[in-house]
Structures are given as structure tokens and as C-alpha cells.
Structure 1
Amino acid sequence: MSTPKNIVIIGGGLAGAKTAEALREKEFTGSITLVAAEDHLPYERPPLSKEYLAGKGSFDDAVVKPADWYEENNVTLKQGVRATKVDAANHQVTLDDDSVLDYDKLVLATGSTMRKLPIPGADADNVYYLRTVEDSDAIRATFGDDKKLAIIGGGWIGLEVASAARGAGTAVTVLEGAKLPLLRILGDTVAQVFADLHTSNDVDLRTEVKVQDIVTEGGRAAGVRLEDGTIIEADNVVIGVGVAPAVDLAEAAGLEVDNGVLVDASLRTSDPDIFAVGDIANHDHPVLGHRIRVEHWATALNQPATAAAAALGEDVQYTNLPYFFTDQFDLGCEYVGHATGSEEQVYIRGDLEKREFVAFWVNDDNQILAAMNVNIWDVPDEVKPLIAEGKKIDPDKLVDPNVAYSDL
């Protein structure tokens, strides 16, 4: 395989910037062009719903690399432009300024787009989604002791926004269709912990509800109407009902797409000269033994090193286990591995009521599929080998805090 001379990266988030960095760390000396749709330097998104939203961090803290890094490393950063077409046959990318980029290898890091809620009133001026730093700024501006915020969706984003808003004194109502927030991901036992966390911090958590429309007055949201006719008064509304992988470019280019862009263990797409990383990569995971697409920070952080090496001709595979974290009120947690949340047995080591525990999702063969440590630290590195090796464990030892993980 000949060494590429021109590599183009589409996507100006964490995954795109880390791909450029990984290529230079691999001593690639050819041309690197990073196409970023936003006018900002590439930045990380987790702070937008965590410390930045809470006013505890600056935007500069979220920036992946300062402007001079791109100059010093001879990376052409095209800001405020979008890729509109990938011509895989001719190895070209067309941008919305009508310029055309040639590539030998292409890395797609286009991320996700917000799922919109198709209900009347969702287009009101003070209805917000959270994806960009501007979104985070706008939502933070709604906080205050005399403000009421309605959040539609009790997923990670909805709950993190609720935590930040309550921290600023805002009255918060969270509207969730399931019987518990995060139920689909965590299952009943652990989802109840998050429900109790929020209600104990004066969040008005309403579950098993269906939103009918957003009540508007003069083009602005004034509340949320439920299917049973109940109106939740609100000065502002945040909608957090998930994201969808941004695969339009890939699909139009003829790449195989199914819940993201299909990639092999090395993150190569159905076109041998195109790779995909981050939210859009539906990855044939060599450790888990099945495909998985992960919309979390660690994936965008770590996959680029594998994609860069593969693009340069190395025989590599991405083997990291999925990982994510959240901070809400006085609860901090990390999750490693992958489980459905409902099909496995959940075992708890620690104290659920004190919210100091490790939860394990275990299959019928007594193999650990995932673990979440809550307000207990330095756990992921100890349990990752247990998950990766598919080791069968004794559940009684698993829940016993006196048994070391290495002895399971």
C-alpha cells in the first residue's frame, strides 16, 4: 500500500481534531485538511451540558487545540464551511464555497444531529436543543431563581441540564415517557437511583407522560401540554430526545450505512480509502463480538488514533470498550462496557441509598457485560479485563466488597 499524500478530515469536533493530531504523531508529513462547519476551533461537547453550562468553565477549556497548533503542525483548518459532496470514485470532496479538495484518504467525523420533536410549538423562539456552544449559552441564559424550565426527555442530556439549572436556582420539570429516566439504558434498579437523585434535589420529575404540544403566546413557549390536558407552565423549554448520526454525506457517496456508517474493526468503511470515527461509526467491535455505535466522548477521543494508523497502512484494530461519564448534583459516575439495561441481571456492590456503589450487568452465563461506578473511583481499569475476557464470575463474590476484582 502506498503512503497517502493528501488526507482530508470532515468534521470539526473532537474526533476530527484528534484524527489530525494522531496523523502528525504518526509522523505523517503529507497534507492534512480539516473541514469544520462551525466558525469555532474544534471543541469537546461534554462540557456544554456539564461544567460550561453550569458556568464553572470557559469555552477555551473545551477547545481541543489552540489555533497556533494547526499552524505549527501544518494542518489546514477550514472553518465555517461544510462538505456537500464526497465523490468517492474521483477522490474529491466538494465544499459549500464551491471549492474542491482532492484526497488519497478521507476520514469522516461528521458527528450527530439533534432529533427534532415534531409537535406544535416546537419552533417557538424559546425552545432549545443542546448541540453547540451557542445552544449552551442560550440555555444558560434562561436560568435563574425566578425562572421555570421544562425539559422534554429524561436522558443524559435532559438530566444534566436539569442538574445545571437547579444549581442556578431554576425551577425544573422533567417530562419523560418511560416509567423512569434512563430506563432503557440502565434498567429499573439503577434508573431509580437517578430518579431519586433528581426528586431529592427538587426536580419535578414526571414519568410515563406523553407530550402533546408546546403552548405558545406571541410566538414564545409558555408551557408544555400533556396528552391528558395538563399544562406545565414554563418560561423556557429544552428538548432532549436524542441524536441521529449525520450520515447524509456517506450515504450519498455510496458507503454502506445502517444506524451509522458501517466500519470494520480498523474503522475502514466499505470504501477502502474512507474511514469513519466518532458518533457515526457503526463499528464491528473485535472484543464485544458485535457491531456497536457509541455517541460518547471517549469514542471520539480514542478512535482517531486507530483510524489514522489504518489510513497510513498499519494493521490495527480498535479494541477499547465503550466508556462514558456523567456528573449530576453530588453524583459522579463512570460506565464501561455495553449492556441493554433490561436483559441482564444487575448486581450491586456497595450502598444504593447512599449512592456509593458499583453496578454490574451480568448475562445468563455469569459474564460481566458492563459496569457503572457511582461516587466510587478507580474502578474502570480494574473491571475492563473482566469484561474484555468474558470471564465467568461468581455473583456472590462480585457483590462482596472484600473480594478484590482480580480475585473474581
Structure 2
Amino acid sequence: MSNVIVVGAGQAGASVVARLRTQGFDGDVTLIGEEPFPPYQRPPLSKAYLLGEMDRERLYLRPESYYAEQDITLHLGAPVTAIDTVARRLTVGDQTLTYDDLVLTTGSTPRRLPAAIGGDLDGVLMVRGLQDVDAMAPRFAAGARVLIVGGGYIGLEAAAVAAKRGLQVTLVEMADRILQRVAAPQTSDFFRDLHMRHGVDLREGVGLDHLTGEAGAVVGAVLSDGSTLNVDFVLVGVGIAPNTTLAEAAGVRLDNGIATDAFGRTSVPHIWAAGDCASFPRNGQHMRLESVGNAIDQAECVADNILGAEKPYDAKPWFWSDQYDVKLQIAGLGTGYDTIVVRTGDGDTLSHWYYAGDRLLAIDAMNDPRAYMVGKRLIEAGKSPVRAVVSDPTTDLKALLKA
């Protein structure tokens, strides 16, 4: 093993190549990305960067000079078009590169609205990459009318930025409540109230029927309840899909993404996967985690295993979301919960603790980093404090770690 190629220059790809070098790998390392930029942070794109609070260079995960200093070859603005798994080579533009081990960190793509309902009109936008945000930034002018489709974290974060910029914001969510797929009703209630206090016209149980246009540009929307809106542009936040086209064409097995074993190996020898595009075994099924934390941890595990560690990936899910002056921090996965314990803290701090019976599964902490850190450590240690103790605001949370 002397030549590792990583396809996908996002958080996971950058983490693989950095880990290989810090672990002492002295072979050839190549990182290939479709975009013309070095690896950068995506979460701030639709928040601090769009608000003008962060320069482009601060988005970069590492200075551009880092890759040359670490003898990491960057191929940017060059998509991979084919993989020959027998000869172990791939095609990048008009070049052919050979590999000993290949890591697919191809990430994910936002789901688009169908063209049949106006999804191809000018002014129908998605937050995918740096160029997308640069293109949409001029539209975020005070008084502009924006429709946001989707009440998950992507849509809510976009709504917060738009409202802060003084836009007229309408958000529609087809499900009965915002965050229905990912959070408890109590967390939905908190963020619904937060957005409505900031002037967002938030409509739940209402979907988009179709968009209307003039001269190829969006000008209006007809909603599922028959109501109509005049809009200047539309932001779509209806989830993401893993980028699996390249893997599928190479004959790699898919299962809710690029399927891997516990070590990050795919079904094809010498090909690995990590990040948003990869699904891995957990609790008897394959799952994907769409988060920065997973991208880093899984990528580093794959790098270690390429070097022979034979270390199974032990996912420790954590996420965050920034909306207005609220930082939401999430640890664990609340799937299967039957009880939510609400804990109020000092000032405006609040946390929701997800239990299945007496077992602690997850925590949502709003402006409460202490509750988040304690909850995260409890979950990782397999400890479940008594629910009544958690809900008591006089309980010293740190003492729970010693129990």
C-alpha cells in the first residue's frame, strides 16, 4: 500500500487525508474535489457566511498551504467520471490515476423540486456549495419575499438568516409539525415559537402545490391548501440524498447510501467510504448520519483502518443548529423514545431528554452547553439517570456523571 486516493473534498475527505499524514503514512495521498475550492466548512455557508460575518478564507478547513506542506496532491474542479475496480484506476478529466486504496467521500446533494411544479424556474435555490451561496447572497435584501419549502433544520436555519436580514419570510412544512422527522414535539414547539416571534409566517401541514413564473423566473406559489403567495425567490430545504452514482457505476453495493462494513470497507476490495454518502452497520441495520461529527469520526476511523488498525467504527452521534440567538446542541439518537423529560436551567437555557423506559437515548439542549456535555457523556457511558432527578432544576448535572 503506497497510494491512497480520496474522492470528495468535503469534511470527510479532508479528514481522511489529514489523518493519514498524522498517523505517519508516507505514501502518495491525493484528494479530488469537484469544486474549485480547497475543503471548506459547509454549516456556516447559510449562516455566518451568507450574513457577511465570515470571509471565504475562514471557511477553509485548513490554509491552502497545508496540503503542499503535507505532500497531499489536490485535484480541484475535476470530477471523477469512471472507476476501473479491476485495474484500480480512475478517470479524472483527461487524466488516469491509479490507486492502491480508494476512499469515497462523495457527500450528498440537496433534493430538488420537480420541474413539473416549477422547480427549474430561475430563483428556485438550494444551499449546496459556496458558489450557490455567492449567487444567492444578492437576493437577501431587506423587504424581499422568500418562500422556504421544508421545516427541517436546513429550512429553519435559512428562515432565521432571512428574517435577520429583514426579508418577508414564509415557511411551509407538509408534515404536521416542523422537525417532525428528527425531534420531539417539545423541541418543535420551542422553535416554532422562536420563529414566529421573529416574524416568520410558519405554516405546518401545508405543502407546495406548484410555483408560478414569468419569463422563466419564479414569481408566485400555490400551496396545498389553495392559498397563493407572491415571491421574489424560493429556498428549498427538503432533505438531501447521498451521492452514490459513481459508486453504483463501479459495482459497489448500496444500502441507504454506499454500504460499508464496520471498518468502512465497501463490497469492492480496496474501496472504502465515509461521511454523508456512507451507510454503516449499527444496531442490526445500516444507517447514515448526516453531520460534521460523523464525517470527521468515520473518516478518521477509515484512515486508521487503511493503515491496518482493524478498528470498528463506534458512532457517537452529535449535531448542532444555530438559529437567531439560540444554539441547539444534540447528542445521541432519539429514535424509539417514549418520554421527554424537560429541564429548565438558568436564564433562557432549556433541555429535552429522550428516554425509552428508563434508558437515556438523546438530548436536545437549547443554549445549555452544560446540559449537552453532561448528557453526551452519560449517553456515551451508557448511564441513565432517574428522570425525576434530571427534571429537577436544583440537580447538579455534573454529579450525575459520578453516580
Do both proteins adopt the same fold according to a TM-score greater than 0.5, normalized to the shorter chain? yes
Contact 1:367 1:387 in 2 (8 A): no
After superposition, the C-alpha distances for 1:212-258 in whole angstroms (9 at most, x for unaligned) are 11111121111211123211111111111111000111122222211
Length-normalised TM-score, structure 1: 0.93
Alignment of 1:6-405 (within 5 A): 6-95=3-92, 97-118=93-114, 119-285=116-282, 290-340=285-335, 343-350=337-344, 355-364=348-357, 366-401=358-393, 402-404=395-397, 405=400
Conserved? CA contact 2:337–2:361, under 8 Å: no
8 Å CA contact retained: 2:255, 2:286: no
For residues 214 and 220 of structure 1, do their structure 2 counterparts lie closer, same or farther at Cα, with a shift above 3 Å needed? same
Q: CA RMSD in A?
A: 1.8
Where 2:157 maps in the other structure, the secondary structure is: helix
Q: Distance in 1 between matches of 2:302 and 2:198?
A: 43
Q: In 2 relative to 1, CA 197–85 (structure 1 residues): closer, same or farther, beyond 3 Å?
A: same
CA distance in 2, matches of 1:371, 1:62: 28
Secondary structure of the corresponding residue to residue 389 of structure 2: helix
1:397, CA displacement in angstroms? Answer: 1.3
Q: Work out whether residues 351 and 363 of structure 2, in 8 Å CA contact, stay in contact via their aligned partners in 1.
A: yes
How far is 1:265 from its partner? Answer: 2.2
8 A contact 1:140–1:165 mirrored in 2: no
SS in structure 2 at match of 1:192: helix
Paired letter, 1:345: T
- Whole-Å separation in 2 of the counterparts to 1:372 and 1:295: 17
The whole-number CA distance in structure 1 between the counterparts of 2:348 and 2:178 is 16
Identity, % of aligned pairs? 36
- 1:20 is displaced (CA, Å) by 0.9
Report how far residue 49 of structure 1 moved.
1.7
Q: Could you tell me how far apart the structure 2 residues matched to 1:228 and 1:218 are?
A: 26
Number of aligned residue pairs: give it: 399
Structure 1 residue 318 displacement after superposition: 2.4
The secondary structure found in structure 2 opposite 1:18 is helix
Give 1:407 deviation, angstroms.
5.1
Do the aligned partners of 2:256 and 2:286 also contact (CA within 8 Å) in 1?
no
| Alpha-carbon distance between aligned partners in 2 of 1:63 and 1:11, rounded to the nearest angstrom | 15
- Aligned AA for 1:344? D
Cα distance per residue 1:109-131 (max 9 Å; x no partner): 00001211114221111110110
**378-387 or 177-186, larger mean C-alpha shift:** 378-387
Following superposition, the deviation at residue 355 of structure 1 comes to 4.9
Q: Deviations over 1:327-378 (max 9, x none)?
A: 10121111011123x74311111169x75211111113x1111111111113
SS of the residue corresponding to residue 145 of structure 1 reads: coil
The one-letter code matched in structure 2 to 1:260 is: G
Range 387-396 or range 188-197, more displaced = 387-396
Amino acid at match of 1:388: E
CA distance in 2, matches of 1:316, 1:384: 22
User: Which amino acid in structure 1 is aligned with residue 374 of structure 2?
Assistant: E
Give the Cα separation in 2 of the matches to 1:345 and 1:385.
Answer: 20
State the Cα distance separating 1:264 from its structure 2 match.
Answer: 2.1
The answer for unaligned runs of 5 or more in structure 2 is none
Report deviation, 1:271: 2.7
378 and 156 in structure 1: CA distance in 2 versus 1, 3 angstrom threshold: same
- The 1:272–1:397 alpha-carbon spacing in structure 2 relative to 1, beyond 3 Å, is farther
- SS of corresponding position for 2:155: helix
**Alignment TM-score, normalising by the size of structure 2:** 0.94
- The offset of 1:24, in angstroms, is 0.7
